[in-house]
Structure 1
Amino acid sequence: MPRTARKIDELTRQLNLLPYFQRHPDRTVMEAARDFGLQPGEIMADLNRLWMCGLPGLLPGDLVELEHSYTSVRVHNAQGMDKPLRLTPTEAGVLLLTLESLENLPGLTNQEAVVSAAEKLRGIMGDYTTAVFDSVAEGDEAQDNSTLAVVGAAMDQRKQVRFLYHSHSSDTTSTRQVSPARIFTTEGETYVHAWEDAVNDHRTFRVDRIRGITLTEDAGDPHLSGLRFSADDPFAGDSQSELVQFLLQEEATWLANYMSMELAVPADYIIDEDGVTWVPASRPLYSRDWFIRFSISQADRMKVTGPDFLVDAINGKIHAGLSAYDDQLK
């Protein structure tokens, strides 16, 4: 996850901890970790940060006041941060569509909870329920909302959808026909997980790259029984993809704000003979072709070091490109 998105997620989680413990004063850190899907140590680290946060002024009376240990958390003064963050209309709409797709799923554990949550969302959203999303949105947001409305109708009616999709991994645009199975959001973007008969597998589509979507009369089969989904790895790629190792110039580490990568700690930085500082980094190889194009475009600030087959492929692509100039000169 890019560092900017990770910081936003951490801030959101921390702001939700205070109202959580105020509402559940008897909960331990271990129980909170279970509810938030985190490790107890992460909850304690968040509480330690909150203990030093507060209103402008930086005086003791302006800071959050709490007593916390692994067995007990007491919030004495939340400095006004005592309400959980609310869902945006788009987030609520995506959640409602997901719940509605689960309501009639055979064999669902605790189906009553799903139905109850969906009913509460319908009541809160009011008129939004008809179109699922705010119809007064403009530009790209209106386009995305329209796309999701068609996807929602396809999930309700068990139909397939057809659309044009631009894939960033292959840099191509093609017509796709799929059976939508799930809608989810991550790092501020909304995605549709769907079964595609042409490849006999599930595929993930980013909503803002979908154009001209239509609801077809073909019966949909989203193959829900074979769908595996994890909030920690929604693209099911981290556990399946080989890791790419590369070096980034220290001044280029801002790239980590825009793409998923892990950066080494300062102690592992490398200084070359020219005095340039390089930061070891890695990321999953989701798409070989895309990463080759990306690494060549960043060749002035990036060096791929492994795996060997990828280094060879990049060098081969560079050599072929440079050779084209010789052919033209001849």
Structure 2
Amino acid sequence: MLNLLPYFEAHPGRSIMEAAGDLGYAPQQIMDDLNRLWCCGLPGMGPGDLVDLDHSYPSVRVTNSQGMDRPLRLTQTEAGALLLALESLENVGGLTDRDAVVSAAGKLRRILPASTATVVDSVVSDSFRSAAPPVLETIRAALDNRTILAFGYYSAASDATTHRLAVPARVFTKEGNTYVSAWDTAAGTHRTFRVDRMDDVVDTGETGDPHLGELAFNSEDPFSFTSVSCHAEVRILEDAVWLADYVPLELTGTNPVDGFYAARMPVSSHDWFIRFILGQGGRVLVDGPAELVAEVSERARAGLAAYHR
């Protein structure tokens, strides 16, 4: 936030929209930070002690920065922590400009004392330095060139592998896994594919349209679970609450009842949900809605009947 003052002093009259593009912040966040700075100043908080600026969306001018007219300098500890984060990011899938991350890490490494840089380098494992998988490089190239990818994809929802043609629109990571949102040419809509479930990925070189204007992406909810209309009321065994770290479920009960916690799950695929419940072997029980309870019971009876044929 304090870096806004030297920025606008160096660029008097620049609009908040231009600053947002330069600094990578949302315009509303910049306006909120400027409003806070307007109420800050030196001890005494009397006339002449406060930061003074004339700010609006079309133009920002700083008339009194109270001496905060230079970018903040990182301490050795802060620079080391930033270098550690950058080195960990270098090979994370979904980076739109990996070269910028590598360049920033290199600059920090050059200015840090050798002792600090060595400690940071020893913490980051070799796995972070390994080259990005070829499949991810192919996806990135298709994303940049707007070309169609051909690949085989295993869907956990249907438990089947199908051939797909899709135009990448966005690459992102979630909980350690890399995904690509792409326009599925057969379905005529966007689909999300997990990269480690994609096989024989080939860039066809054929130009396609990723339909970016139709891509609704929320980083907090990349799989649109909040928009799912069907939710299941379930109970989870007390010893199995760790499942909440791996599947989209929300614990609704604060205390267990008869050894089970109440929870709620979005159901975007009935087939996947039923297979998930049956695969838990009694650790997760379905209480509703009634049609889901009936489907799970029917599938369980059919499975048991197969053993007596």
Q: Secondary structure of 2:95's partner?
A: helix
Instruction: Give the distance between the partners of 1:228 and 1:302, measured in 2 at CA.
Output: 32
Amino acid at match of 1:155: L
Structure 1 segment 235-254 matched on structure 2, within 5 A: 235-254=223-242
1:184 aligns with 2:172: yes
Q: Are the counterparts in 2 of residues 165 and 176 from structure 1 also a CA contact under 8 Å? A: yes
Q: How far is the alpha carbon of 1:121 from its aligned partner? A: 4.4
Identity of aligned residues (%): 37
Question: Which stretches in structure 1 are left out of the alignment for 5+ residues?
Answer: 1-20, 26-30, 37-77, 98-117, 127-136, 272-276
TM-score scaled to structure 2, two decimals?
Answer: 0.63
2:266 match:
284
1:10 match:
none
1:148 match:
136
1:270 aligns with 2:257: yes
Question: Which stretches in structure 2 are left out of the alignment for 5+ residues?
Answer: 6-24, 31-74, 107-125
Instruction: Give the distance between the partners of 1:80 and 1:153, measured in 2 at CA.
Output: 37
Instruction: Give the distance between the partners of 1:293 and 1:35, measured in 2 at CA.
Output: 44
Q: How far is the alpha carbon of 1:263 from its aligned partner? A: 1.5
Amino acid at match of 2:288: G
1:158 aligns with 2:143: no
1:70 match:
none
Q: How far is the alpha carbon of 1:231 from its aligned partner? A: 0.7
1:215 match:
203
Change over 3 Å in CA distance of 1:125–1:155 after alignment to 2: farther
1:167 match:
155
Q: How far is the alpha carbon of 1:223 from its aligned partner? A: 0.9
Bigger Cα Rg: 2
Instruction: Give the distance between the partners of 1:120 and 1:224, measured in 2 at CA.
Output: 24
TM-score scaled to structure 1, two decimals?
Answer: 0.59
Q: How far is the alpha carbon of 1:145 from its aligned partner? A: 2.0
2:188 is aligned, of 176, 179, 200, to: 200
Change over 3 Å in CA distance of 1:125–1:212 after alignment to 2: farther
Runs of 4+, deviation exceeding 6 Å: 21-25
Q: How far is the alpha carbon of 1:199 from its aligned partner? A: 0.8
Change over 3 Å in CA distance of 1:315–1:95 after alignment to 2: same
Change over 3 Å in CA distance of 1:320–1:119 after alignment to 2: closer
Q: Are the counterparts in 2 of residues 96 and 121 from structure 1 also a CA contact under 8 Å? A: no
Instruction: Give the distance between the partners of 1:234 and 1:202, measured in 2 at CA.
Output: 12
1:295 aligns with 2:295: no
Amino acid at match of 2:248: S
Amino acid at match of 2:249: M
Amino acid at match of 1:89: E
Q: Are the counterparts in 2 of residues 245 and 306 from structure 1 also a CA contact under 8 Å? A: yes
1:73 match:
none
Q: How far is the alpha carbon of 1:226 from its aligned partner? A: 0.8
**Number of residue pairs matched by the alignment:** 221
2:91 match:
90
Amino acid at match of 1:217: G
Instruction: Give the distance between the partners of 1:152 and 1:255, measured in 2 at CA.
Output: 32
**Aligned alpha-carbon RMSD (Å):** 3.3
Instruction: Give the distance between the partners of 1:288 and 1:199, measured in 2 at CA.
Output: 19
Higher RCO (CA < 8 A, seq sep 6+): 1
Change over 3 Å in CA distance of 1:80–1:174 after alignment to 2: same
